[in-house]
Structure 1
Amino acid sequence: MRVLSVVEESVVDGPGIRTVVFTAGCPHRCPGCHNPESWNPNGGENMSVETLLTQIQHSGWDGVTVSGGEPFLQPRELAALVRGCKRIGKNVWVYTGYTLEYLEQLSDEHVTDVLNQADVLVDGRFVESMKDRSLRFRGSRNQRIIFLNKV
């Protein structure tokens, strides 16, 4: 999996203290993006899902967030990571610039697997004119927090 970075302790990417995996590569290139270094699909480094899962498990936190970049550019790896996180008992949030409706129309088995396994999807591109610092876990008002699976 192409990973820009892993943050071991985040309190802004979902509830509680979470491990955050930032993937590399983003086609959206939203003006005002807080993470433009993630746009390059060749940025960061290749990491195996197994290595990421070991790091996540050793963090001790209950939650994992996968952000970007755009995680759905690597659907096979994303699905394996989310499945592995659920197997070790983690709550999983996935951020995407795509909408849920768009992802559902892709008819991609790996995307479907992610949507079936993840707990929460935060969807929608960041829109600078809708930026709102008072929102929790989102950057702009158009973005939605969608509870996919109630555990």
Structure 2
Amino acid sequence: MNKTVRLAGIAYESLVNGPGMRRVFFAQGCKHKCEGCFNPETHSFDGGEIMDMDKLIKDVLDNPMLKGVTFSGGDPIEQAHSFAYMAKAFKKANLNIWCYTGYTFEKLLELMKKNENIRMLLNNMDVLVDGRFEIMNRNEELKFKGSTNQRIIDVKKSLEYGNIIVIG
């Protein structure tokens, strides 16, 4: 397996991308290209930097201040194999894992039937913030999301109960 991931950047200690002190990995590459996107420089699949996932994992695990990891973007689903690999390692270390995606949870459930990497990523994440950013639904007072159409989903409970459990 190729143990690299293409990242647009890293926020080493963040308090705004999920609860507690977190490491945030910004995926490089996004098909959604939402109008008003907060990170348009992450859209190209050729930009960013190719990084060694094992080094990224070790660096997170070596920092006792971190309570969780957030995958943002770009769209981490476009590199599901890499983010699933990292999520599995972080979950094994009992870190809280959030993921932002322009895809809806319903679409990911459909895709995971054919894509084992998406299944593994979902099975190792705690919270998914789903849906495209919609500029007409933008609300800067929302916590952990940019527009009112986006949902903050408890992935574990949603998979367990077979329906979407929205939190927050």
Q: Which range, TM-score by smaller chain?
A: over 0.9
Q: Unmatched 5+ residue regions in structure 1?
A: none
Match of 2:138 in 1: 131
Give matches, 1:7-22, under 5 Å.
7-22=11-26
**Displacement, 1:58?**
2.4
Q: 1:141 aligns with which of 148, 156, 161?
A: 148
CA distance in 2, matches of 1:28, 1:18: 25
CA contact (8 A) 1:8 1:59 kept: no
Match of 1:65 in 2: 70
Match of 2:37 in 1: 33
CA distance in 1, matches of 2:133, 2:139: 10
- What percentage of residue pairs aligned between the two structures are identical? 43
Structure with larger Rg: 2
Q: Unmatched 5+ residue regions in structure 2?
A: 158-168
Kindly provide the amino acid, as one letter, of the partner of residue 51 in structure 2.
M
Match of 1:47 in 2: 51
Q: Structure 1 residue 96 and structure 2 residue 98: aligned?
A: no
CA distance in 1, matches of 2:90, 2:18: 15
| Two-structure CA RMSD over aligned residues (Å) | 1.0
Q: Give me the TM-score of the superposition, normalised by structure 1.
A: 0.96
Kindly provide the amino acid, as one letter, of the partner of residue 52 in structure 2.
S
**Displacement, 1:9?**
1.1
Which stretches of structure 1, 4 residues or longer, exceed 6 Å deviation after superposition? none
Q: Structure 1 residue 4 and structure 2 residue 11: aligned?
A: no
**Displacement, 1:55?**
1.8
Which range moves more in the overlay, 116-125 or 48-57?
Answer: 48-57
CA distance in 2, matches of 1:45, 1:121: 24
CA distance in 1, matches of 2:51, 2:107: 28
Aligned residues: 150
